[in-house]
Structure 1
Amino acid sequence: MSQKKIIIAGAGLGGLATALRLASKGFDVTILEKHHQAGGRLNMLEKDGFKFDLGPTFFSMSYEFDELVQSCGIDYPFEFIELEPLFTVNIDGIDQTFTIYKDLDKLSAQFELFEPDFKAKMEAHLLKTESLYNDTVNRIVHRNFNSLPDYLLQITKVPLKHTPLLFKTMWKELCDSFESKEARMVFSLVGFFLGATPFDTPAVFSLLNYVEMKHDGYHNVKGGMYKIVESLEKILKEKGVKFHYNTEITGAVYENSTLKSITDSSGKHWDADIFVINADAASFRGQILKRPKYSESKLNKKKWTMAPLTIYLGIKGKLDNLQHHNYFLGNNFDEYAKGVFKNRVSFQKPYYYVNVPSKNNPEYAPEGHESLFILCPSPDLRFKPDWNDREEIAQNIIEDLSRRSGYNLNEMIVSKTILSPEHWESMFNLYKGSGLGLAHDMNQIGWFRPSNKDEELKNLYYVGASTIPGTGLPMTVISSKLTTTRVLEDLNQKH
């Protein structure tokens, strides 16, 4: 078994984590990557003396990294920074900025003018979401499903008290927990972390409120998020894993039910015994394998996550009025959230997220400066194919942030980079610029999500975006475990 040759296409976190698990078992692993460096969306931008986390700027469920490290028998290669406060929320038209703490007493003080008996309501909400988490995480999240009956069987093992959550949205669940729109808005933001809105995210994902507020919180990494990638890449090279960058996969050669090789853009064939694809599991089936079920017309009908419009600013001066993570919302939350991803709202006053990575990692900016990252959740290229107005939208955001933060940012900017959904699609082969792959509705989770084992080719597997269990950094680490389990089980059956 240890002599099997494995090729992993894609050096995102899913590809790196799967490579680590398989290399630790003695397999001969090679990683092919389209980009000039590893990481996928978990990447770094360096420009004009500043550093920026390209995509993810924090994560939860840090214990999933514990499992990865322990199962592979390695020392922890990076150091976490736990965030407290977690983030701030500025709602236009409200003088107060909400600072969100895990400390329930500090948190309650933020809402005393808006939500009567907030502490009791939050305790009840967290107790409910904790129960949901404990009753589902091992039955649904940490499992492979071999058939639809297998999936349905596991669902029947989830206590009936959670059944109503299958038929309502995260927003409706929050409406049942809180009376004020302010509390509902703040604690629905976790839906955006899944690349969707609380109005179209199933209520079962309200368990993430428990994860963020009580179970684990949010974390950054000492030295920046890209330390995760650099550390894993170093360990993998020490284990003999080979990396080939600037290598984009454009085709596949298969015979009967076996994938023989994958082909890069130069025409080179890469052969192996086993292939693991760390590209979008749905679009790869359509664009590379040409499966009718995953044709462009079929993919366009699926629900995809938001597309990112990202702005990276090098700032001369310090930004003491901003925390590490900040959200800036308008006063038309329902209308905006329901329309933004289908390009039905104006970007004159967009909602956006602001990260100041140099707060926790001063080396991200020259002395006396800050690095500033802004993410504006946006419609993908199905709904907004032309982003020639990206400079105008970015300027709207910069002016709005200046007004609400108290800084004249236009006079402080010494470096600026803007990436539209078109850029994200091109850089990382994200379908229509969708930032996190397929969205999470009841028709696109569990068994109904594209499998991590190909339905036709017996030696082809998937990890990461648009496969099980879902999107986001910790889910990607879980995905690598589930995919590795599939590979090992299949090999054991052959022996």
Structure 2
Amino acid sequence: MKKKIAIIGSGFSGISAAAYAAKAGNEVHVFEKHDQPGGRARQFSTDNGYVFDMGPSWYWMPDIMESFFADFDAKTSDYFELVSLNPQFEMIFKEENISIPESYGDLKKLFESLEPGAGKQLDKFMDSARFKYEVGMQDFVSKPCHNWWEFVSPKIAGSAIKLDLLSNFRSYVSKYFKNPKLRTLMEFPVIFLGASPKNIPALYSLMNFGGYALGTWYPMGGFHQLVQGMKDVAEKQGATFHFNHTLEKINTKDGKVTSLIINGETQIFDAVIASSDYHHTETLLSEDKRNYTETYWKERTFAPSCLIYYLGINMKIPNLKHHTLFFENDLDAHIDSIYGDKKWPEKPLFYVCAPSKTDSTVAPKNCENLFLLMPLATGISDDEATREIYLKEMLTRIETHTGMNDICSNIEYKKSYCVSDFIHDYNAYQGNAYGLANTLSQTAVLKPKIRNKKITNLFYTGQLTVPGPGVPPSIISGKIVAKEVNNLMKQTYEKAV
């Protein structure tokens, strides 16, 4: 018997859940408050020809995306062209710049040139990272994490030591490399996992493999092409998308969701999957029906928020790569401003994406599309005047790096996005941009549960639950939750007959 399922939000986890739930034969409706799919991965265009991806820009772990499409007898190439970036990115230091080559062989040579013996050490590091990636992304992250017994298997138990679950990432990296630039290069990917490398499990060296070894890619037309491709897959399975539809209340009775109020209209569903912000979703329930209290959320460690600028530049900027990381200042000082003092950084690090270096469709001819991002503490004040101070700081450093002193005077489009915007647009708790930190105390079973403990047909998916933040984990999260819902619907049907 076909069951009617509501999915709240059309971020990556929501679209993924929609596709898998619909494939199982359910009637699936996706409700999105904005006028397009994607959540944080929305896209917008300007009247003068710029096309901006609003969020994700690093296409790492391409096999995870490919696996999603393969589950529906499709390929990424059915929807967009993937380009391998060379260099993958450039990292700017005070004394010198490091470009990360596309070829692993060239990457080894780079490491060796910076530290004798580091090439062989990179092999050892990546061999271990490959193992973590294969076990972690195939076995570890696919669990619904109801309890620890899910991880009691010969394969996982036999791999426990090699997964380095109890080692911290900084100490782990230091065992392989002494050069401070190489250490920073290896540590940077975990910054967006939500804590200092000192507090992130060494398991997450799998990200180095998923990025540096598997390559850094770009979908022509922008990251939103992945959103559109996944949406098309979900629609082909029978899912229906409803835009400009906001969930206002979740009605419950006798331990079940009975109906939802959406845009003032009451609608009845057999099950609900919330891809919306977990904390916000629970505020739509009476307090006694929530999984977690306000105190619980206040005690969690959240991944950063960020200051973003979308800039249209009426000139070409030489000496700027598709991805550039400006790390001239101390990494730990910036990290402490995010997780320690929770303030605007005094000497910030930041990231620039210039997709127009690869894709001529995202900017007018002889112009550049720039996306500037600076990680920030959650919950801080972000008035426009403060944003502008940091924009000037970032642009000055870009001008110094590129030798172009007139970038500021050639800005023809500018839009900022920060903590308060994440709260307004996504109901993001304290304006977080990347969900919960992947610290050891917030990993696997210790993350917020994917199922409401008091309401049998309410589920949660996305970056605030398992497996964690990032595009690939969010896609996996949708699959995990859809499987749980499909099993519930099957059990309900079997009891009925």
TM-score, length basis structure 2? 0.92
- Deviation of 1:152 after TM superposition, in Å, equals 5.6
Any residues of structure 2 matched to 1:73-112 within 5 Å, and which? 73-74=73-74, 76-91=78-93, 93-94=94-95, 96-112=96-112
Name the % identity: 25
What residue identity is the alignment partner of 1:385?
A: S
Gaps of 5+ in 1: none
Contact 1:151 1:446 (C-alpha < 8 Å) held by counterparts: no
1:304 corresponding residue in structure 2: 302
2:270 corresponding residue in structure 1: 273
Any residues of structure 2 matched to 1:315-394 within 5 Å, and which? 315-343=313-341, 347-381=345-379, 384-388=380-384, 389-394=386-391
How many angstroms apart in 2 are the aligned matches of 1:250 and 1:5? 19
Q: Alignment RMSD, CA only?
A: 2.2
How many angstroms apart in 2 are the aligned matches of 1:424 and 1:347? 19
1:400 aligns with 2:402: no
Residue 441 (structure 2) aligned to one of 432, 443, 446: 443
Over 3 Å counting, the alpha-carbon distance change for 1:407 and 1:111 in structure 2 is: farther
1:37 corresponding residue in structure 2: 36
- Deviation of 1:236 after TM superposition, in Å, equals 4.0
- Deviation of 1:345 after TM superposition, in Å, equals 6.2
How many angstroms apart in 2 are the aligned matches of 1:155 and 1:433? 39
SS in 1 for 2:200: coil
What residue identity is the alignment partner of 1:187?
A: M
Residue 263 (structure 1) aligned to one of 261, 264, 286: 261
Instruction: Output one character per residue of 1:256-296: Cα deviation in whole Å (capped at 9) or x when no partner.
Output: 211112223x4322221111111123442356453565333
SS in 1 for 2:175: helix
Query: Mean Cα displacement is larger for which, 20-29 or 464-473?
Result: 20-29
How many angstroms apart in 2 are the aligned matches of 1:292 and 1:233? 30
SS in 2 for 1:72: coil
2:245 corresponding residue in structure 1: 247
SS in 2 for 1:294: coil
- Deviation of 1:359 after TM superposition, in Å, equals 1.7
How many angstroms apart in 2 are the aligned matches of 1:182 and 1:289? 51
- Deviation of 1:344 after TM superposition, in Å, equals 5.2
Over 3 Å counting, the alpha-carbon distance change for 1:386 and 1:38 in structure 2 is: same
What residue identity is the alignment partner of 1:458?
A: T
How many angstroms apart in 2 are the aligned matches of 1:318 and 1:199? 40
Instruction: Output one character per residue of 1:197-255: Cα deviation in whole Å (capped at 9) or x when no partner.
Output: 323222111121122222x2222212111112223334544554332222222321001
Instruction: Output one character per residue of 1:93-142: Cα deviation in whole Å (capped at 9) or x when no partner.
Output: 21x21011242342244345531212111111111222223343333112
- Deviation of 1:298 after TM superposition, in Å, equals 2.1
1:184 corresponding residue in structure 2: 183
1:128 corresponding residue in structure 2: 128
What residue identity is the alignment partner of 1:175?
A: S
SS in 2 for 1:250: strand
Over 3 Å counting, the alpha-carbon distance change for 1:172 and 1:161 in structure 2 is: same
Contact 1:348 1:396 (C-alpha < 8 Å) held by counterparts: no
How many angstroms apart in 1 are the aligned matches of 2:58 and 2:486? 31
SS in 2 for 1:166: coil
SS in 1 for 2:7: strand
Over 3 Å counting, the alpha-carbon distance change for 1:65 and 1:134 in structure 2 is: closer
What residue identity is the alignment partner of 1:374?
A: L
Residue 218 (structure 2) aligned to one of 220, 234, 240: 220
Gaps of 5+ in 2: none
How many angstroms apart in 2 are the aligned matches of 1:238 and 1:179? 52
1:285 corresponding residue in structure 2: 282
Any residues of structure 2 matched to 1:452-467 within 5 Å, and which? 452-467=450-465
Over 3 Å counting, the alpha-carbon distance change for 1:124 and 1:425 in structure 2 is: same
1:5 aligns with 2:4: yes
Over 3 Å counting, the alpha-carbon distance change for 1:104 and 1:242 in structure 2 is: closer
Contact 1:286 1:296 (C-alpha < 8 Å) held by counterparts: no
Over 3 Å counting, the alpha-carbon distance change for 1:97 and 1:26 in structure 2 is: same
Contact 2:20 2:483 (C-alpha < 8 Å) held by counterparts: no
SS in 2 for 1:189: helix
